[in-house]
Structures are given as C-alpha cells and as structure tokens.
Structure 1
C-alpha cells in the first residue's frame, strides 16, 4: 500500500556563532513529486516499523500547552495555511528543544499524507548526513543525504481518528527514544498532550489472555503451543503490514486453525481490559514461542517446542540439558576444548519466577 503526500515543507535547525539554536524557515511548500512521494513513503515505513512508540491525546490544559493544538485546528479548518502552521510548529519545536536541553540540529520535516483510509500529520527531525561517491570522471564528490531509517525525534497524528473521535486517547503517537533521553516529556510538552493508551500493557494483557484461554480449554501441550504460534504468526504479519492487532480477527484465526471450544473474542471481552485494536509489541511477542533468559554472563534463548524433547529442565538440580547443540556453537566449544561430544549441560540457569527455566 502506497502513501499519498498532500503537503510537505522543510525547515532547518542549526546553531549560530553564539551557540544559539535557530530555525531557518522555508516560505513555501515543496511541490509533490515522485521523489517527495518516495521520501514520505520511506519515512512512513520506517515509522511503522518502530515498536517503541508511545500514544497520547491533547490535554487542553493551560495557554502554552494549547498553542500547537490551536494552530493545527486552524489549519484543519482552513483558517491558517499549511506553511503558516508549519512555521508555528517549528517555532514551538525549537522552544521545547531548548527547554529540554536537547542539542539537536537537522532538517525539520512537516508533512500531511494519506495511507489506506486515514490522513496523517508527520513531524520529524531528520539528520542531513554527508556521503562520498565517485563521479563519472573518477573524482570524489561530497553529497548530502537524509537518513530515513534512523529517525528518533518523530511524532505522528492520526487526523482521521482525531476528527472521528476527539475523545480518543491514542491519535498522537511518537517514538519514545533512547534510554536516558526524556523524549516522551519533550513531545508531550511540544504538543500539549498527555500520555494515554499504553501499547505495552495491552500486549502483556493479550499474552496473559492467550495463556489463560488455553488453560480454560485444558489444551494438551502440543495444542497449546499451536495456539501460541498462531498468535505469534498473526502478530508478526500485522507488524510487517504496519497494522494493529484486531482481537476479532485473531479469534477467527484461532477458530480456523485449531479445534477449540468457544470464542477467544468472547473470552477476552469478559474479564480483560483490552482495546479492540492495538499495535503489536515485537519484543513481548517473542515470549509467545520462546524462552529467553539473561544474567550471570549468560544469554539463552530457544523455542518453547524444544523443552521436554531436545532440551530438558530439572528443577531439583536447577539444570538445563541441551542435546543437539547448534553446529556453530559446537565448533567454538570444541575449538576451546570444552566438550568432545554433542551434549552440553548447563548448571546455572537464571530463573525469573522460580518455576520456569526462563
């Protein structure tokens, strides 16, 4: 599915000779061209692939906090043109960078585009990097390029959801950023928003619901694993397509691939505080089909289906036995004379809850 860009403008953020961050404002929109469409598509795909997103909504608290929302409302109502809106947004962006002491330079992109049936506003600070290439005369030349795959300071507003349901708590989304950087605070202050919908909590609730649904069904180990794999595959496909998890669709997946009694959707609707739709968390989804443990200098991960067959756990001795070691690991161990057979016994397994191996 392609995106269709409707508006786009760039502003430049740089420090002057006095060390003050300034914004050079562009006075007109960029004309929509195939290269512009490709840029917006690349940014959209990069943003969709990010799993560390936070969701928010306009807080409507205080005069300063409403500056961005007021400008956006005026633009959407035709009272302010897109250029004027982008310039006001750029001014707020710079003010908040200074307030939060983020030493950031780059190209500020403000764009409106359509994808599937929704309209979006994207605001992203892009890095304008240099690259060296060889021209047809075999001479070195330096050129500038924008890195679209490593965006960090970026936020998006679902304009269609905002219009359809102003009381929703998830029409604003942004990338949380690296540990130690208060990116959430920055975007919440910049847009005058409050953090609302928590995708991680939703995903944790889904994992819990799947496990308890299997227990209620009294499924044998093999069938329980099959349900987990159906969930994992569905969530991976949704991540790949940039789509949310749909509980009704997931329930239908269960019915079509497993011989289950009752509806998973009905089961979830009774006792779980889950939204009808929410984005998948790639890291949490791994727990559906894998055991993962880290600690004491060890990092162990394996598919759950191997437990009880090629991998055995003895709780009494806290021992994990692996038969059929991966060839590349075996070669490393044999090279260092640690083993001389195809069996490895690990006697210091890290336990998260005292009951499971990982």
Structure 2
C-alpha cells in the first residue's frame, strides 16, 4: 500500500497512584524510517478495517481544530501540536473513572491521495521473545490489533468541506464504556452522521418504495435481495453505499420516479453516500432473533413457505427441519423414551 508519512510521535500517558494522570513527553518526533512507515501502515490498515465507527465534526470553539489549522498552515510545529494534544488528553482522562494509561500516537500521513491525522491511545503490552541464541527476554509492544481508543481526521475533506459532519471518524467504545464520548470531548467534536440510522432509514425507504410502486410480494423479495447484494458488495469492497448508484439498479415506480427521487421527495434525509452496516442490511434477507434460550436465523423467503408465524398465538411453525438438527432431536428423543 502506498503511504507517505509526514510526521509521527509518541507520548506516554501515565496513571498515578492517586488516580491522576501525567504526561511523559518524547523530546522530538520519530525518524521517518522503514519501521515508522510500517507501523503507521499497520495503524491505517487496522483502523480502516474496524467496523461500526462513528462520524463527527469539530465544534466551532474546538481548540484542537484551531491547533490543527495552525499546523497545516505551518504556524505550529508538529511537535508543539502533539504536546498540546497530550496535555489536553491527560486532563480530559482525569474526568473518567474507567480511563486507562497508554501510549498516545499521533501520525500525519497521506494514503491514496488523501491526507490524514491519526490520534490514538494504544495499550502497551508485555510479551516474551526468543533471541538467536535461544534465550528468552521480556519485550514490550503496542497492541495495534486491539485499539479501541482512536480517531482519524480526513484532512483533505476537512479543508475542502469544513461544514461536513463526517470528516472525523472514531472507534465507538465497548458496551459499558463511553470511550467514544470521551474521545469526542478530548477533540471538542460532536456526533455527525449516524451510520446505523442511515441504514435503518434505507431499509424503511425500500419497503415504502415497494409499496408506493405497487410491487408484488414475490417481486418485493427480489428488490430486497438486490438491495442487500449491492450493499454487501460495497461493504466487502470497502466502499460506501452510493444512493444514486443503488437507485439506478432498482425498478422505477409506475409514475416514472426512481428510488433516489422517491427518498428525496418523501424527506427520508438519506446522505448521498454512507457506509453499509452489516447487522442492519442483513435484515433485508434474513430474520434473526435470540432470547429465552432460543436463537433463530432463517432466510426471509421461507416465511409463508416452510416457516409460518401466527401473531395471535405468537407461534412459529417450521416445516422440514435441517438434517443435522433433526438428527440431534431424534437422538435426544430416543434417549428420553
């Protein structure tokens, strides 16, 4: 992968015995050698592959935004920019009881004609290594694969479209930890486009469009499948759902309007493009549910064919069970008889 590295620096955020934080600064940026290049390339690869990232944009009063503007205008050296970020980060960390220490990484680079600034707090882990003499020594490493406190700013988009709400992305925190909120506070940014909501609105728009276009039940299932295959294909390719492109692949309504025109006229507020959400688009072709010790997953085309639901009795009837399930059921029944 072609990646041009401009600046890279690490600072250490430490947690003191009294639960406060402090900064151990590096004296200067790292040399831009092969090791630095490989490290940032791996950061970029892992971050890009992370699913479920949030989108945001800077608040007007954001200090980080002002520092970043000065950095890009060469009014603020990268080292000074990194120190200001480190100082602000450790002060912000003190407000959160779940906060942990780590290595603050700031990297400015270009990939595929797009300029980025990566900011992440990575865990420092211990490991063992075997030397050429077959001795065992302790070794420290940064856990890039499991990064969960990180953000990336698309500098190219920010400079050309500062009013956008999606040039800044961040990794959403795990359940029970508002890591995303904490990192947004540090950057003084606010939530922008919600990917999951965009996908949910898309699904509702598809159903409403089929109704408006008077598409028959069997044909409606084909439309759902077509939308799913397009969105899933974009997801696998690392591309976003393009509303116009999707619309061109779907049938028009009897009045001659296409899907994109329908969503605009009905006020669905779909972005021109947005990332596909795997768990949401799966609902186009599958029914999935779990609870009370039961987990069920089946293709939606089977509803009304081999699988029937009675809402009055809340009963699901399955005709023709999978062979491996049937074998388990018969074995258990024979043992219990």
Aligned to 1:213: 209
Q: 1:264 aligns with which of 254, 259, 262?
A: 259
Q: 1:203 aligns with which of 194, 199, 204?
A: 199
Aligned to 2:293: 297
> Which ranges in structure 2 are unaligned for 5 or more consecutive residues?
none
Aligned to 1:226: 222
User: Aligned residues, how many?
Assistant: 334
Cα 1:32/1:254, change in 2 over 3 Å: farther
Higher mean C-alpha deviation, range 112-121 or range 322-331: 322-331
Q: Does 1:22 align with 2:33?
A: no
Q: 1:116 aligns with which of 105, 108, 112?
A: 112
TM-score (norm 2): 0.88
Output one character per residue of 1:75-105: Cα deviation in whole Å (capped at 9) or x when no partner: 0110011111111111111111112234312
TM-score (norm 1): 0.83
1:19 deviates by 5.2
Is the Cα contact below 8 Å between 1:202 and 1:274 reproduced in 2? Answer: yes
Output one character per residue of 1:135-165: Cα deviation in whole Å (capped at 9) or x when no partner: 4444433322322222111111121111111
Superposition map of 1:76-225 within 5 A: 76-225=72-221
Aligned to 2:51: 51
Cα 1:144/1:238, change in 2 over 3 Å: farther
Cα distance in structure 2, aligned partners of 1:171 and 1:71: 17
Is the Cα contact below 8 Å between 2:21 and 2:91 reproduced in 1? Answer: no
Cα 1:228/1:3, change in 2 over 3 Å: farther
Aligned to 1:355: none
Q: Does 1:69 align with 2:80?
A: no
> Which ranges in structure 1 are unaligned for 5 or more consecutive residues?
341-358
Cα 1:232/1:37, change in 2 over 3 Å: farther
Aligned to 1:40: 40
Is the Cα contact below 8 Å between 1:289 and 1:304 reproduced in 2? Answer: yes
Secondary structure in structure 1 of the residue aligned to 2:162: coil
Cα distance in structure 2, aligned partners of 1:43 and 1:261: 47
Name segments (4+ residues, structure 1) moved above 6 Å.
Answer: none
Cα distance in structure 1, aligned partners of 2:221 and 2:34: 46
Cα distance in structure 1, aligned partners of 2:38 and 2:222: 40
Higher mean C-alpha deviation, range 219-228 or range 158-167: 219-228
Is the Cα contact below 8 Å between 1:290 and 1:303 reproduced in 2? Answer: yes
Cα 1:131/1:75, change in 2 over 3 Å: same
Output one character per residue of 1:201-260: Cα deviation in whole Å (capped at 9) or x when no partner: 21111111111122222223333222222222222232233332211121233369xxx9
Cα 1:77/1:151, change in 2 over 3 Å: same
Cα distance in structure 1, aligned partners of 2:18 and 2:199: 47
Higher mean C-alpha deviation, range 205-214 or range 302-311: 302-311
1:124 deviates by 0.8
Cα distance in structure 1, aligned partners of 2:335 and 2:44: 49
Is the Cα contact below 8 Å between 1:68 and 1:92 reproduced in 2? Answer: no
